[in-house]
Amino acid sequence: MHAAPALNHHPLRGGISTLDRNLITASAAGDLELVTRLLTAGASAQAVDERGRSALLASIYGQHKEVARVLILAGADVNRKDGEANSPFLQSASSGQADLVRLEIAHGADLRSTDRYDGTALIAASEHGHVDVVKLLLQAGVPVDHVNQLGWTALLEAIILGDGSQRYEDIVQLLLDAGADPNLADREGNTPTRHARERGYKTIVKSLMRVRGH
C-alpha cells in the first residue's frame, strides 16, 4: 500500500503541491498504479518541478511507456519543455519510443519544435538510428531539410553520427524519398556524399548518387 501523504494538497516551495510533486516522482519511477491514483485525487498532469520537468517528461526519460500514455490521455502537454529545452515529443523521438511519438503527434505535437541545439525531432531520430520514428515523423510532415546549430540536416547527422549500418542506410533512403536535398552541405562545404565516401559507406553513396548527389 502507498502512503497516505501522497494525497496532500499543501503547496511546497517553488509553487508545486505535494500531490503534484508525488505525481512527478511516481512517473519517474514508472509506478503506474500510484500515478493513476494521484491523477484521480486531483494531481495536475501540467505541473512541473524546479527544473521545468513535467510528470510526462519524467516518465519518458525513464522509458515508462504505459505511464506516459496515461499522462498523455489525461491531458499532459507533449510540447512542454524543461530547463534544457527538451520536451516529451523531442525526447520520445530521440530515444526511439515510436508508440509514444505516434500518440504525441495525435495529441498536438509541435512538428517544428527544436531542442537546445536547434535540432528537430527528425534530426535526433536520424542521428540515433530510429527507423520507425523517422518514418512517423516524415509522414507527419517534420521539415526534412531543417539545419541545426551545427550546420547539419537530418541527412548529414545520419551519415556523420551514424555507423553506416542497415538502419542508417534505411534512414538515408527514407530521407531522400521524402525529398531531402542530397547536396545540402555542412558549413565547411562538405556534402552528404563526401561524408559517406570518406567513411566508406558504399550503399549510402549509391543512394545519394541515384538522386544526383555529389
Residue 16: predicted pLDDT: 87
Domains annotated on the chain, with CATH: 1-77 (1.25.40.20)
Residues 6+ apart with CB under 8 A from 4: none
Residue 133: predicted pLDDT: 98
Residue 14: predicted pLDDT: 53
Residue 22: predicted pLDDT: 97
Q: What is the mean pLDDT of each run of 10 residues along the chain (214 residues)?
A: 41 72 97 98 95 96 97 97 96 98 98 97 98 98 97 98 98 98 97 97 97 82
CA distance 156 to 150: 10
Residue 5: predicted pLDDT: 39
**pTM metric for this prediction:** 0.91
